[in-house]
Each structure stands twice: as C-alpha cells, then as structure tokens.
Amino acid sequence: MRKSVFFSVAAATALVAGASVAAEGDTLAQVKSRGELLCGVNTGLVGFASPDANGNWTGFDVAFCKALGAAVLGDSSKVKFVPLTGQTRFTGLSSGEVDVLSRNSTWTFSRDTDLKLDFAGVNYYDGQGFLVPKSLGVSSAKELDGATICIQTGTTTELNLADYFKANNMEYRPVNIDSNAEGEQQYMAGACDSYTTDASGLAATRAAFANPDQHVILPEIISKEPLGPIVRHGDNNWGDIVRWTLFALIAAEEYGVTSANIEELAKSSQNPEVQRLLGTTDDLGAMIGLDKEWAKRAIAASGNYGEIFAATIGEQTPIGLPRGLNAQWTQGGLLYAMPFR
Amino acid sequence: MTDSLPAAPPAPPFRPGMLIYDRRYRSLTFQVIVFILVMSLAWWLIGNTVENLSRLGKDIDFGFLFNRAGYDIPQQLIPYDSDDTHLRAAVVGLLNTLLVSALGCIAATLLGITAGVLRLSRNWLFARLMTIYVETFRNIPLLLWILIIYAVFTEITPAPRAYQGEDGRQLILGLVAPTNRYTAIPAIVAEHSPGVLELGRIHIPWLAIMFIGLLVAAVVIRSAINSRARRIQGRTGRRPVTWWINLALFAVPPVVLWQVFGLHLELPALAGFNFKGGISVDNSLVVLWLALTLYTGAFIAEIVRAGILAVSRGQTEAAYSLGLGPRQTMNLVILPQALRVIVPPLISQYLNLTKNSSLAIAVGYMDLRGTLGGTTVNQTGRELEGILLMMLVYLAISLIISGVMNLYNRRVTLKER
C-alpha cells in the first residue's frame, strides 16, 4: 500500500515536471506539431486588432500574425488569436500561452532585459498623445492642469503620463482602466476629461465613435513608443523567424512586391534581392528551418507592409493615420529592412 | 535505604516490524510517512519553480520594491507621488484596502442586523422587502453588483463641468456636488489653525487630534458615569438622571473648538476641470464600499436571523411576562443570547468582505491588488514575488481580523458558572 502511494505521487510529479518543461524550448517545432500559431493581440482596438461580428480578427497587428502563420505553417488561417489586456500580455507570452505577441507593445529597456522578452523589430513608430472632446476648449496638452485622465494600467503610457505632468509642474487625477474598451466607455461617459495612450490607438479609438469629428487629438506627442512584435527570450531561431518575417513585409514594399504581382515577380524579377526574398534563388528559408517560399507566402497573405498599412489604418480607412515616420527610409521615414542575403 | 524496588519487567525488544504491526507505533509511522511525502512535494514544487524561473533567466528578488514606482495613485491616505518606491505604493494600496474594508464591515454589520431583525418582523411589508433584498444580493455575484453600481454612478451623475456657468447645475443644498468621478463635499477648516503635527511626510492637523482626543475622553467618561449610575441603582433602586451629562459630553467640545478656532465649512468650487476645495470622495471608493456593504449585509442579515431564531421562544414569552416591551426584549434578552450564534459566522463574513475588496480593480480603485498586484507587478515583471507578497499580506490581515474577533467572541459566549 505504501508503495502504491509512493508511485502515484512519483508519477504525478513526473507529469507536472513534463508539462512545465513544454512551455519552453523549440517554439517552431511546437507550432508545427500543433498545426496552429497562437498569437497574442489587443482585446479590441479597431484598425490594429479587433474581432468582427463573425469573430474574425482583422487589423494591422492581426495581419502580421497571418503573415507569420503563412510563413511557418503555409496557411494564414491557421492562426489562433488570443486577446490579452495590458496587464496580462507579458505573463501570457512568458508562460507559453501565446507564441508571439503582436499587440501595440512598446520596446523598452526593462521589458527587453528584465522581463526577458525579445522584440523582433518595430512595425509602428508611435508616440503618446491626448484625446479630448472639442467642447472642452483645450488646444494643447499644457492646458490640462487639474484634468482627470483615463489611463490603462500596466503600460508605458502610465509612466510617461506621470513624468510629463511632473516635468511640466501640472496636476492630474488618474482614472485607472484595464482595457481600451473600458477607456472608451469611461471617456465617452465623461468620467475623464482626456484619454491618453499611443496616438495611433487614440486615432483608432476615435474612429469607432459615433461622431469622431467632435474629438481632437492634441498636438503634443510626449513620448517615443516604438511598437513591434515580441517573442520570449532564449529561443533565438523563433526570434529570427519573427524578425525576418517583419523584414520581408517591409522589404517587399521597398522592392515593389505586392500581393498582386508576387507570382509574376517570383518568375520574372531580375532583381537579385527580390529573387532571394521570394525564394527563386538561394535558399534563405533553410537557414531558419523553413522552406524556400516562406517569405513569398508571408507577403501573399495580406500584402506587403504598405498594403497592410493602407488596408487597416491608412488614410483611406476611418482611422486615417498618415504614414509619417512609418514611411520607407527611401521616402523619408524610418522603415528600413535589413538586407536579404 | 539499601532496600531496592523490584526491577521493572524488561520491555519487549523493539523490532522494525512493530512500526506496522504494533498498534502503538502504527499511527505514528503513517503520520511520519505522510509528513515526509507532503514535505517532499512542497520541496519539489518550490525547486521546480525556482529552476523554471532561472531557465527563463529570472530570479526571485524583492529588490524591485525599492525602485522608483513611476505611476500615480488617485487616492492616497499617506503622501505619495510617482518618485516614491514600489514599496510605498504597496503601502498606499494596503491602506486603501484597509479603509474600504473597515468602512464596509461597519456598514454591512449595521445593515445586516437591521435587515435580519426586520425580516422577522410581523410587519408584512418590511419582512417581504427584506426577503427580496437578501435573496437578490445573496444570489448574484459581487462583481456584477460592483459593475452595475459603477455604471449607475458613471452614467447618471453629471461631469464636473455641468456645474459651471450661469445656468449650470446647482450643488445639492449648496454643499454637495455628485459627479461622475467623485462626490465633492465641504471640508471643515479652521480660521485660526493650531497648525499640523509633522511626522516625516505625514501631516496631521492638531485640530483633528484634539477632536479625536475629546471624543475618546467623552466615551470613557460616559461609561464611567453609566457604571456609577448602575451602582447607585443597584444600591438604592433609583437611577440618577444622566442623559444631560452624556449629551453635554458630546456636544460641548465641538462647540468650544468651533468657537475657539473659528471653524467653518469650505465649499467645493469648480476651478478649471475639477472641483477645488472641499473633499472629493472618489466614486470608485463609494461604489466599492456600497457594493461590498449591500452584498455582505445580505449574508449578515441571514446570520442574524438564524441567531435570533436560535433563541428559544420561551425567552420572549418570559420577557413579555416580566412586562418588557418588544424593543427591550430584543435588545436586552434576545440579541445578547443570539450573539453567541452570530459572532463565529460573522467573523467569516468580515474576512470575506476584506478579501472581496480585491475586486476593486473592476472600478479602478487602487487597493493592494491594484498597486502591488497590478501596476507594480506589471511594470516590473515580478509576478511571483508580487503575488507571494500579496498573499502574505492578505493572510496577515485575515489572521489579525479573526484573532481580534475571536477575543470578542470569548467575551460574548455563554459563561457557565
């Protein structure tokens, strides 16, 4: 009898030990054996990541996950989107709940080092702004002394806000909220005078209002918020795959590869870099454990960076963000894909 | 002297088999085995956690508590700003937890006793109303109540700006301004202030200290007077009139303070975006307090009802036959006996309320869960350390509450002589 107790305890121990080890290790192998990419996204920010009435996720961050799913699994529909709040996102990534986090997250020193995350690159250069109703009669953030401000907890914007008001010797009352949806609700109900987050997020939030033209984003941008996809620290090959999928989307725009002409260019392009990118010559895919056409599939999934931008958050969409800093380096922006060779 | 006692019969030699087959040792053997198994499981769990963390490149380190927090907290009982440490932020959060829990426990007790007694009332309407109250609040999750009350506060009350301008809203009675963020109420300020007591960064007005001191003195003197009255009543059968002394004890000091220091009300006034002056009570605190009170009050009402029903009907009849009215019967005969049944489950309700206050995050009230367990953990990435600390603190609070309440319980239990 004693023996059976001992053995069952030992067996349970081994089971738990096995399960905890599975959270680490070779992410690529796990994704392939699972046949599904788990992608952490915003709980709902129109333009970046939001589910439609049928539960299909769309948006700028979602399109990146689809491209990654296409590159790794050959099918952009094999992505499962896991909505994570500002407070749960990094824990979700660290604990293996998602394979990659594509969720308006700012690349900061402590997150990169102390939180043991790896940023794969920047897919949106952003900065923190303030949204106010026009009726408030405020035209500058410097006039917000004494205002009540809605702020998402656990974000870099929370820290910037405290610093900005301190530096300008102003006071404010924070209203702590948990998600963008809650922020929108509180702001619309007038529970705060201003809502602050990344300017892109403000534009996206405003676009969802019934009458967006009654709200303005103040001109002050009080911080640098480089947003990009994140992976766990330690799995360098998986990090490479995510990083170079992002570069593939950016490079495709630079070289004029679009979802429309990709098949044609794969056959006929004379540009050696395009040939390597699309897998016509050389075999870059093998170096990261994928096949030759990984990048081609990634670009074909939702188009190149410019196409994704235009379709989800660009000036033709209700969100109406200009390319600004997010234009190609050849167009005076900051987007710069490392060479494919 | 030399006469020695007969030697004790030699104990049977100990054999390992006796650990199982001898009843004297068997239970001990199994307890030792279970203890070793439990300890090795705990040891393995801790070791596994530490190893997994180190494989992720993380260590267990509480040093983050002394780093700059960098975030602001809307409501603070001790001075705090974003340059302070995470530790101070956690203390601010802890005080907020204690504040809402204490307010909640007091209000829920009053509400619960009232509702519990009224539910047994012979007045049909009161009894039914209380039944409806108890059953609705007891059977719907607390989080929903918090969210509903929050929504009501946010949607129904106006923004502070609604009070500005010529035809703006008027303050209620010219004193109170409910808004969708906070309720602005007047503050009491002194014209000739006696200054403040400075304890580090904490500043306590002397006036408040004096007021509390006088209040405590009044309570002490009142109980002395009452016990003297009881003694005289016991000796002579006539109770001296004490009500005017008691009234004066509580009425005179405030009047004196008011006259000496020129106390007056400072009305809240709209300045810029928000009210300045007066006191702004955050809606998150009010909402949480209200929800905890109503929810826990329903449970306490049931406990009180059970306690009263546990007192035998004969006690009431005996009291009536002595000429006591229903009110005196309840206060002097029934409730004191019912307390024996009421207090132990009441302790559990206090613990529940305190732990439930961690749902504060739903309304953005920055309690311990919101500061240490929320923003701090999130900004530093120290989940394990933060949660462990939080568990320890909640455990300590709960043990203190139940310790104090058990002392009280020992006082009200039936003393058999």
The answer to whether residues A324 and A268 belong to one domain is yes
Among B66-70, B231-235, B255-259, the range scoring the smallest mean pLDDT is B255-259
Q: Above pLDDT 90, what percent of chain B?
A: 38
Q: Compute the distance between CA of residue B414 and CA of residue B417 in angstroms, rounded to an integer.
A: 9
* A140 and A217 part of one domain: yes
User: What average pLDDT is seen over chain A?
Assistant: 88
Q: Collect all residues of chain B within an 8 Å Cβ-Cβ radius of residue A148.
A: 181, 273-274
The pLDDT of residue B68 is above 80: yes
- Amino acid (1-letter code) at residue A214: Q
- Say yes or no: A208 and A275 in one domain: no
Give A179-218 pLDDT, tens digit per residue.
888 888 889 888 889 999 999 989 989 988 888 899 999 9
Do the interacting molecules here have an ipTM over 0.85? no
- Domain containing A203 equals 128-224
If asked whether residues A83 and A112 sit together in one domain, one would say yes
| Whether residue A84 is found in the same domain as residue A206 | no
Structural domain includes residue A252: yes
Residues of chain A contacting residue B81, judged by C-beta atoms under 8 Å apart: 166
What is the number of helices (H) and of strands (E) in chain A?
Answer: 14, 14
Residues A173 and A45 in one domain: no
Sheet with A117-119, strands from edge to edge, namely: A79-83, A37-41, A100-101, A230-232, A117-119
- Integer Cα distance of B236 and B258 in angstroms: 40
What pLDDT is attached to residue B186? 86
Asked, for residue A2, whether it belongs to a domain, the answer is: no
In a domain, residue A102? The reply is yes
By the CB < 8 Å criterion, does A108 face chain B? no
Shared-domain flag, residues A259 and A240: yes
A219 and A145, same domain (yes or no)? yes
B168-186 pLDDT, tens digit per residue, is 777 777 778 888 888 888 8
Closest partner residue to A116 (CB to CB) among B57, B70, B378 is B57
- Co-location of A231 and A318 in the same domain: yes
* Residue A318 resides in a domain: yes
Of A14-28, A62-76, B204-218, highest mean pLDDT:
A62-76
Residue B40 is predicted with a pLDDT of 95
What tens digit of pLDDT does each residue of A111-145 get?
898 888 999 999 999 999 999 999 888 999 999 99
pLDDT, tens only, A165-181: 999 999 898 888 878 88
What pLDDT does B301 receive? Answer: 96
- Cβ under 8 Å to B: A residues 185-224: 186, 189-193
**pLDDT for A6 beyond 70:** no
Interface test with B, best of A173, A178, A184, A223 (most B CBs within 10 A): A173
Res B98 pLDDT > 90: yes
**Domain check: are A84 and A232 in the same one?**
yes
pLDDT band at residue A21, thresholds of 50, 70 and 90?
Answer: very low
Q: From the CA of B333, how many Å to the nearest CA of chain A?
A: 50
Give the single-character DSSP code of B189: E
Residue A143 shares a structural domain with residue A121 = no
The last residue of a domain, from among A203, A224, A245: A224
Residue type, A17: A
Q: State how beta strands A230-232 and A117-119 pair.
A: antiparallel
Query: Do A103 and A142 sit in the same domain of this protein?
Result: no
Cβ–Cβ below 8 Å for A148 and B41:
no
Residue A82 is assigned to a structural domain of this protein: yes
**A46 neighbors A205 (Cβ within 8 angstroms):** yes
Residue at a domain's end among A197, A224, A251? A224
- Asked whether A33 and A78 are in contact (CB, 8 A), the reply is no
Select the residue from B43, B164, B378 to test the A interface by mutation, using most A Cβ atoms within 10 A. B378
- CA distances to A143, A329, B4, B231, B396 from A107, rounded to whole Å, are 29, 20, 89, 76, 38
Read off the pLDDT of residues A37-57 as tens digits, 9 standing for 90 and up.
999 999 988 899 999 888 899
The C-alpha atoms of residue B392 and residue B385 are separated, in whole angstroms, by 11
Is A22 contained in some domain? no
Which residue, A212, A306, A222, A225, is CA-closest to A258?
Answer: A306
How many domains would you assign to chain A? Answer: 2
A contacts of B158 (beta carbons < 8 Å): 190
CA distance, residue A191 to nearest chain B CA (Å): 5
Q: What is the CATH number of the domain that holds A255?
A: 3.40.190.10
**Residue B34 C-alpha, separation from nearest chain A C-alpha, in angstroms:** 10
pLDDT at B256 over 90: no
Residue where a domain terminates, one of A224, A247, A271? A224
